[in-house]
Structure 1
Amino acid sequence: MGAEPGLSARTCSIWICFLMTKTLILPAEVMSRELDARLLQGVMALDRGWRVITGSKALLNRIIWRLPPSVYLCQTVTHKRRKLLDLIARLGHISYGWDEEGLIYLNRETYLSRRVSSQTLELLQEFITWGEQSSADVEERAGAAGLVPKPWGNPRFDLLRPELRDLYRKEVDELHRQYGDYILVNTNYGMVNPIISIDPNKPKKAAKQDRGSADLPVKYSEFVEYRRTIFEAFKDMLAPMARQFPDMTIVVRPHPGEEFSTWAELGQGIENLEIVREGPSIPWQIGAKALVHNNCTTAAESACIGHTPIAYCPVFSEENECGLPNLISHRVDTLDALMVAIKAAVEGQLEMSADQRAVLDHHVANVSGPMCTRQVLDLCEELYQKQQATKQSGMSKQLAKSIGAARNLHKSMRINHQTDIYIPKVFPEIEPPVIAARASLIAETLNLPFAVNATQLSKNVFELHKVAPS
């Protein structure tokens, strides 16, 4: 059969290539936390011949119905994600996933109940974990879904490797120019200082078989109050810290899920205290003279960079401690001890022990050795071949497209919905030239022979393209 009237042979061949191109979709929820890692994976995928689409997770998922079938990254496996994954599968996509927040959690039972859904896992082809500890914790549930967890780490931590830190050199230099020597305070109190109004004690939706023991809600409520106590202590420590180190800047970076104004109010009237959320977190950690936290993922990032984080623990409850961040940190429980520890860190006198390094390696895979991103892309190649061998019913796909379009229309008509308030706070609007420049810098850092252009498919959703370097 010939081409339709008006369509040239060249146009037809372009469309055939478009339909045959292997496509990778890489959503990101929090720009400052994940975008660089998605661009790293995207740039390396371009080098392998993939078509790459990335951007805001929420906005990308709204237009998934009009995107080509892909190998799709699912970055959360909570119970509510199952409906979207079912729709994605019926649209012809094939999914693999990990839990972006699966490195730091209270304990196995709470983690599985709140963040790992049996029904969601059943819709994935592969599941990647942060390391041996999280693999062991999800092994039984993943196995019931027919999956063997792969303890490969996360592309975010590939960016911490010495060979990729040049990506942040100019940003680190600019931070030092603007703030001088600084002490970094990273917070993670979203459950008690949320960016949108929520009840932190409200149980997460979960299938009956995933809910855990009957007393789990009570235990979690105790954990919330424990975190609230530490949150108040962190607010109280800032003024004394600023007085103790008058020649340094105290930089507080609230977690993306926290209400910024709570911290901004504390910064008023203290000359050397800055509350900042802009930019990716990694350059801030590379450039810091000391990092202060409590049970924060950034402690693991800082340790991978080669720093020794400081955990300020004004109260302590073993059953309310998460498994990793404070264990790999220099722990202090009083303000006086905190000031001594910060001084030692500034002078380069704090070091992690061999036991702490072993704990880090048990929780975070591929701190050295194979890059997680390369392993993930090898897996994506296998999934693409599997996708090609799977036939999708045309009628089923058309119905799924109609459902996806209706879903998008419904969400676009909402007014003042909490999710719509949350989205621009964690993924502010960004333009294609900014995406292109960042991706091109990553390509240059990787010594790849191309630059990257970005075209906008929808608000905060972009396709990456290889172009000749300028």
Structure 2
Amino acid sequence: MRGNRVNPNKPSLYLPCETRNREFEAKLLLACHAAERGWRGVVGAKKAIDQRIARLPRGLYISKSITRRNRFILDIGKRLGHIVTAWDEEGLVFASPEIYRTTKVGATTLTIPEKLFAWGEANATAWRNHPAFNGTPISITGNPRADLLRPELRDYFADEARSLRRHHGDFILINTNFSLVNHFLPGKSLYRQMLQAKKQPISQYGSINGLALHKVKLFQHFIEMAQAVAQRFPWHKLIIRPHPSENLDTWRGIMAGHSNVAIIYSGNVAAWLLATRALIHNGCTTGVESFLLERPAIAYQPVVSEDYDSQLPNTLSLRVSDLNTLYMHIDNLLQGNTSGQETLLKKCHAHACQHIASFDGKSACERILDSLEPTKSLLLDRKKPPLVDQIIGWTAAESRRLFKRTQLVRRTTTDSTGYQQHIFPAVSQSQVETYLQRFSTLLNRFHDLQVDDLGDCIFALSKQ
């Protein structure tokens, strides 16, 4: 599976990943499917791919989000002649369409992609109802992250899950989602700072101040709950897995007095969900992922808000509002009683399908590539953009690259080396080949693919 050269006549599909544990293996799966269909699938760290965008062969770029921050790089890509498309890694779970459009969708950014890929109808509707939506074609495909949780690929994580059970026993897992209250970079804990400073909400953000207050309240309740669960179940390990952008040291300080607690952020969360006896969360995507894996999850909701709660993951979980009920559910799950989860699977199947198009039927990878099939044949013959656009794009790309290099040593920015190493630890070619071998064994395909290491955690997959 190891290759030395890349065929320049294959159309390139660029799949940048911001968070390795969340995105990389799913996008590697999409790259495998793409390589089978004649693409050159390029997958790797978003920062590194974006830094090279002016030097990469023209291809099709799938952005991982459409926030205001991404507008600049998408505009550069388009000016350089890349076909720019997008999906939103965070388009599955949000508090309300209004808050989603305010916090996760940039008005100008939304107009740049030539095609959008939605998790499901709910995600697509949120885009269509944005005031800046200009009719960009939307393909409702699902996301490759959901493909990894389908029955045919569930054993992909089996070895890791067994290893976690051997190491931690029958452990309880708490997944937190408080990056805007407890960010890895203290200066990015925007909601907490806004409330501490007693700032009034900026008019364009509408109800964001209310969301901030709700998140801060939940954070305090989760601290109290984690300490109570650790004390109530002293003979069981309690693992707290913070959001990828959270500060682990905050949780280490909070839980320092409990010897049965570990704060761990490592590996794909699916392995942890398969290994744990009980997951506790609130409004976290892991509640949806547990549902897809047919594993039990508890949504702890000590405070409830119709406006600010992320409804989907809570709806797909066992919902509790007080500690005594929480203890009862944990006890049941530790004893292997999952009847409540089986009821949820039957009751919420149709609701899940509304949000995740690839829950049944064709996989997201197949749906995405079906949608791109007409584009593939046209990509290599696509005319170059006007020279003035190429010059503007190249100049902007190089200026951006040089600016980003100056940010590496600044500890307060998301471009800093420390933060980038936290959200995207290095991955080697041998690891990529191991992942590919797992896919090949489980699906009985991808046998004739080669992997090329392009450096800086970027890999190209193509058919030999």
- The normalised TM-score by structure 1 is 0.88
Amino acid at match of 1:429: A
Q: Which residue of 1 aligns with 2:198?
A: none
Kept in 1: contact 2:452–2:459 (CA 8 A): yes
Please give the alpha-carbon distance, in whole angstroms, between the structure 1 residues aligned to 2:140 and 2:316: 20
- Could you tell me which residue of structure 1 aligns to residue 420 of structure 2? 423
Q: Which range moves more in the overlay, 152-161 or 430-439?
A: 430-439
Change (3 A) 1:434 1:142: farther
The corresponding residue for 1:407 is: 400
One-letter code aligned to 2:359: V
From 362, 366, 378, give the equivalent of 2:370. Answer: 378
Does the 8 A contact of 1:433 with 1:454 survive in 2? no
How far 1:310 moved relative to its partner?
0.6
1:169-206 per-position Cα deviation (integer Å, ceiling 9, x unaligned):
11111111111111111111001001112252599xxx
Match of 2:153 in 1: 164
Runs of at least 4 residues of structure 1 off by over 6 A? none
In the aligned structure 2, how far is the partner of 1:112 from the partner of 1:458?
36
What letter matches 1:380 in structure 2?
A: L
Distance 1:325 1:248, change over 3 A: same
2:455 to 452, 455, 458: 458
CA distance in 2, matches of 1:339, 1:333: 11
What is the rounded CA distance, in whole Å, between the counterparts of 1:377 and 1:287 in structure 2? 32
The runs of 5 or more residues in structure 1 that have no matched partner are 1-13, 204-212
Residue pair 2:296, 2:338 contacting (<8 A) in 1 also:
no
User: Tell me, what secondary structure is at the counterpart of 2:207?
Assistant: helix
1:334 equivalent in alignment to 2:327: no
> Within 1, Cα distance between the matches of 2:133 and 2:435?
40
Classify the secondary structure of the residue corresponding to 1:20.
coil
Moved more, 452-461 or 373-382: 452-461
Q: 2:87 aligns with which of 89, 95, 98?
A: 98
Aligned residue for 1:293?
281
Q: Describe how 1:15-34 pairs up with structure 2 within 5 A.
A: 18-34=7-23
2:390 maps to which of 370, 377, 397:
397
In terms of mean alpha carbon deviation, does 375-384 or 153-162 score higher? 375-384
| Residue in structure 2 matched with residue 442 of structure 1 by the alignment | 439
Establish whether residue 221 from structure 1 lines up as the match of residue 221 from structure 2: no
Once the two structures are superposed, residues 368-427 of structure 1 have per-residue CA deviations (whole angstroms, 9 ceiling, x without a partner) of 211011111122322223434531147343553343233212221333050223322111
CA distance in structure 1 between the partners assigned to 2:380 and 2:297 by the alignment: 47
Question: Residues 245 and 453 from structure 1, CA distance in 2 versus in 1: closer, same or farther, beyond 3 angstroms?
Answer: farther
In structure 2, what is the Cα distance between the partners aligned to 1:241 and 1:144? 46
* Secondary structure of residue in 1 paired with 2:156: helix
Equivalent residues of 1:309, 1:329 under 8 A apart: yes
- The answer (yes or no) to whether the contact 2:66–2:87 under 8 Å persists in 1 is yes
Query: Which amino acid in 1 is paired with 2:352?
Result: L
Contact residue 97 and residue 124 of structure 1 kept, 8 A? yes
Q: 1:293 to 1:219 in 2, by over 3 A?
A: same
Contact 1:450 1:466 in 2 (8 A): no
Q: 2:223 aligns with which of 211, 235, 238?
A: 235
Using the TM superposition, give the Cα deviation of residue 280 of structure 1 relative to its aligned residue in structure 2, in angstroms. Answer: 0.7
Q: Is the 8 A contact 2:66 2:105 kept in 1?
A: yes
CA–CA distance in 1 between the matches of 2:28 and 2:171?
28
Query: Can you list the C-alpha shifts for 1:320-353, whole angstroms capped at 9, x where unaligned?
Result: 2223111222111111111011122332232343
1:119 aligned to which of 101, 108, 123: 108
When Rg is computed on C-alpha atoms for both structures, the one with the higher figure is: 1
Match of 1:173 in 2: 162
1:182 paired residue number: 171
Q: Tell which has more relative contact order, 1 or 2 (C-alpha 8 A, sep 6+).
A: 2
Query: What amino acid is the match of 1:34?
Result: E
When residues 398 and 457 of structure 1 are mapped into structure 2, their CA distance, relative to the original with a 3 A threshold, is: farther
* CA shift in 2, pair 1:142/1:451, >3 Å: farther
The whole-number CA distance in structure 1 between the counterparts of 2:292 and 2:64 is 22
| Residue 453 of structure 1, CA deviation | 5.2
Per the alignment, residue 364 of structure 1 pairs with: 356
Indicate yes or no: 2:295 matched with 1:281.
Answer: no
* In structure 1, distance between residues paired with 2:156 and 2:431: 15
What is the CA distance between 1:94 and its match in structure 2?
0.5
Q: CA separation in 2, counterparts of 1:461 and 1:349?
A: 44
Question: Which residue number in structure 2 is paired with residue 192 of structure 1?
Answer: 181
The CA distance in 1 between the partners of 2:223 and 2:242, in whole Å, is: 11
CA RMSD of aligned residues (A): 2.5
Structure 1 letter corresponding to 2:443 = L
SS of equivalent residue, structure 2 residue 62: strand
Alignment partner, residue 108 of structure 1? 97
Partner of 2:301: 313
2:117 is paired with a residue whose SS is strand
Kindly state the Cα deviation for residue 52 of structure 1 after the two structures are TM-superposed. Answer: 1.9
Which AA in structure 1 matches 2:420?
I
The whole-number CA distance in structure 2 between the counterparts of 1:432 and 1:49 is 21
The DSSP-based 3-state class of the residue aligned with 1:101 is coil
The Cα shift of 1:111 comes to 1.2
Number of residue pairs aligned between Structure 1 and Structure 2:
444
Partner of 2:34: 45
SS at match of 1:324: helix
Structure 2 CA distance for aligned equivalents of residues 97 and 181 of structure 1: 40
Native 8 Å contact 1:133 1:362 kept in 2: yes
Which of the numbers 43, 54, 58 marks the counterpart of 1:54?
43
Name stretches of at least 5 consecutive residues in structure 2 with no aligned partner.
194-200
CA distance 1:214–1:198, shift in 2 (3 Å): closer
Matched, 1:350 2:336: no
Deviation (angstroms), 1:96: 1.6
What secondary structure is seen at the aligned counterpart in 2 of 1:320? coil
